[in-house]
């Protein structure tokens, strides 16, 4: 099983997209590591999109190949070998949708039971993000505006959606968040209660605009170590917070928190 997250990240350079996943696959009693986030690039330095998939590994790989083939063809023939604009990506998703639906219909006629879902995301040079979710029939739904994120796999039901809601993630306020840390935290916490979801081991790609260019890169090793340690600390702090609330009560704790917030705001204001 799987937990895949695609989160829109609003920054001063526009919108970006972070796609992260655990790396555990299970078949009966057997678990093994598998790649679930797939970057799609043209000639190494022209990012086109990043995909993530859940379900049958063979079907997910077929979905990746369809996306890659169509996107690369369009980049070479129609887009001047550049990253697609928001509108171009939207039109191309319709082509991808048709190709995946055709493949899924063909498999159903042969009695194949479909277990497939996929997210496909991109960011254009103007800093506008696109996130589409494909279901088991191949139909694509845009989620970049509402809700601004995608969750796939069994981990969605065993804690992924609950944690994002509890922590108050909202795309329009994501500028104040570290989405790399948030992804690490969600995957690690869910893996602690769902044995079919593995802990976060660094499978995460970030697509964004830097200095007028679209760039796409993986999470680096040093950042992974930092995120894992900060994720552990935040889990412990949340436990301590719950105990403090039981000790002093919600009203008293809220008063203490407001005083702390005012003090921190003054510190920030004085530094600036």
Is the confidence at residue 132, as pLDDT, over 90?
Answer: yes
- DSSP H or E stretch at residue 25: strand 24-27
Contact indicator for 8, 15 with CB cutoff of 8 Å: yes
Q: Give residue 30's pLDDT.
A: 47
CA dihedral 48, 178, 3, 200 (to 10 degrees): 100
Q: Give residue 57's pLDDT.
A: 87
Q: Give residue 26's pLDDT.
A: 56
* Residues 125, 185: Cα–Cα separation, whole Å: 30
pLDDT per residue as tens digits for the range 8-50: 999 888 999 999 998 766 555 445 456 789 999 998 789 999 9
pLDDT per residue as tens digits for the range 82-117: 999 999 999 999 999 999 999 999 999 988 889 999
Q: Give residue 24's pLDDT.
A: 67
Q: Give residue 154's pLDDT.
A: 82
Q: Give residue 25's pLDDT.
A: 60
Looking at residues 114-143, what average pLDDT do you find?
Answer: 96
Is the confidence at residue 149, as pLDDT, over 50?
Answer: yes
Residue 266 banded pLDDT, cuts 50, 70, 90:
confident
Q: Give residue 208's pLDDT.
A: 96
Is the confidence at residue 254, as pLDDT, over 80?
Answer: yes
pLDDT per residue as tens digits for the range 49-87: 999 999 888 999 999 999 999 999 999 999 999 999 999
Looking at residues 155-165, what average pLDDT do you find?
Answer: 85
Q: Give residue 159's pLDDT.
A: 84
Q: Give residue 269's pLDDT.
A: 80
Is the confidence at residue 147, as pLDDT, over 50?
Answer: yes
Looking at residues 130-147, what average pLDDT do you find?
Answer: 96
Q: Give residue 33's pLDDT.
A: 57
pLDDT per residue as tens digits for the range 179-232: 999 999 999 999 988 888 888 988 999 999 999 999 999 998 889 999 999 999
SS (H, E, C) the chain: CCCEEEEEEEECCEEEEEEEECCEEEECCEEEECCCEEEEEECCCEEEEEEEEEECHHHHHHHHHHHHHHHHHHHHHCCCCCCCCHHHHHHHHHHHHHHHHHHHHHHHHCCCCCCEEEEEEEECCCCCEEEEEECCCCCEEECCCCCCEEEECHHHCCCHHHHHHHCCCCHHHHHHCCHHHHHHHHHHHHHCCCCCCCCCCCCEEEEEEECCEEEEEECCHHHHHHHHHHHHHHHHHHHHHHHHHHHHCHHHHHHHHHHHHHHHHHHHHHHC
């Amino acid at each position: 099983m799987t937990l895949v997250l695609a989160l829109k990240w609003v920054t001063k350079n526009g919108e970006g997209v972070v796609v992260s996943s655990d790396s555990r696959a299970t078949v009966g009693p057997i678990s093994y590591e598998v790649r679930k986030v797939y970057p799609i690039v043209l000639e190494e330095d022209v990012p086109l999109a990043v995909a993530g998939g859940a379900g049958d590994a063979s079907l997910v790989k077929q979905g990746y190949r369809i996306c890659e083939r169509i996107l690369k063809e369009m980049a070479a023939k129609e887009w001047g070998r550049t990253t697609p604009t928001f509108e171009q990506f939207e039109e191309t998703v319709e082509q991808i949708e048709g190709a995946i639906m055709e493949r899924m219909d063909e498999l159903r006629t042969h009695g194949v039971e479909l277990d497939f879902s996929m997210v496909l995301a991109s960011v254009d040079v103007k800093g506008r993000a696109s996130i589409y979710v494909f279901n088991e029939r191949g139909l694509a739904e845009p989620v970049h505006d509402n809700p601004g994120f995608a969750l796939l796999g069994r981990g969605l039901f065993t804690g992924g959606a609950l944690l994002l809601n509890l922590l108050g993630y909202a795309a329009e306020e994501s500028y104040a968040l570290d989405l790399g840390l948030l992804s690490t935290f969600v995957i690690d916490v869910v893996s602690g209660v769902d044995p079919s979801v593995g802990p976060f081991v660094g499978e995460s790609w970030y697509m964004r605009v830097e200095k007028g260019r679209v760039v796409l890169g993986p999470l680096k090793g040093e950042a992974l170590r930092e995120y894992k340690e900060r994720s552990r600390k935040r889990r412990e702090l949340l436990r301590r917070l719950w105990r403090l609330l039981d000790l002093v009560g919600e009203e008293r704790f809220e008063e203490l928190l407001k005083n702390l917030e005012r003090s921190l705001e003054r510190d920030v204001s004085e530094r600036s």
